[in-house]
Amino acid sequence: MTFVQSLTRTALATEHQGCEYLVAADFLGWDKSLALYRDRQLVEQRDFSGKFTLDDGARISVKLSLFGVKQANLKVNGVKTALKPTPDTIEYKRLRWNQKHPKRARWIGFASWMTLVAAVVVGLPQLAEQIGQIDALRDWGYSFTSPLHLPAALNTALGTAAMVAAIERATRMKYSWLDEWA
């Protein structure tokens, strides 16, 4: 997988009953899809998120977000085990970097979370004001003026920073509602 491909795709793997199961996920673009492989043979494909039932009743469930994987696990007899990123993915490289530099990883994680919070705090009132410009809503008496008005350059910078922060969280396989809203 090339670097550019690793920004839009991932592969997660696990061992179960002597077989290697791999889920390939394409999460960016219109063709969000999942493919399940058993010992490198395609078993099943799905659109976006889904559950794959294995021969013995165990389940592999994968949920995708806009920027990556929300959740990926194998459930056997009620016990969930997280799937692990394969070595050619950006998630694997990020996991290794986090293990080598745990303090830096925590600071970057905190900074990305705060960036997402700032984007939501600034963005939602501005969005509410823009929605208030719709004639039908104004006719019903809806009006809202955002208390925050940033210059276009700062809004663009904050939006770009929020996208980078969401991608950063996705490479760590961390997910919250902020990742979608920012």
Listed residues 53, 88, 123: the one ending a domain: 88
Whether 178 has a pLDDT exceeding 60, the answer reads: no
Give me the number of domains the chain comprises: 2
Q: Examine the domain organization and report whether 8 and 77 are in the same domain.
A: yes
Listed residues 35, 61, 88: the one ending a domain: 88
Q: Examine the domain organization and report whether 111 and 82 are in the same domain.
A: no
More confident residue, 6 or 103: 103
Q: Examine the domain organization and report whether 107 and 165 are in the same domain.
A: yes
CA distance 148 to 97: 37
Lowest mean pLDDT across 40-44, 118-122, 130-134: 130-134
Q: Are 36 and 50 in contact (CB under 8 A)?
A: no
Residue 157 domain-assigned? Answer: yes
- Domain with 23, as residue range(s), is 3-88
DSSP, collapsed to helix, strand or coil, labels residue 92 as: helix
Whether 154 has a pLDDT exceeding 80, the answer reads: yes
* Phi and psi, residue 58, nearest 5°: -65, 160
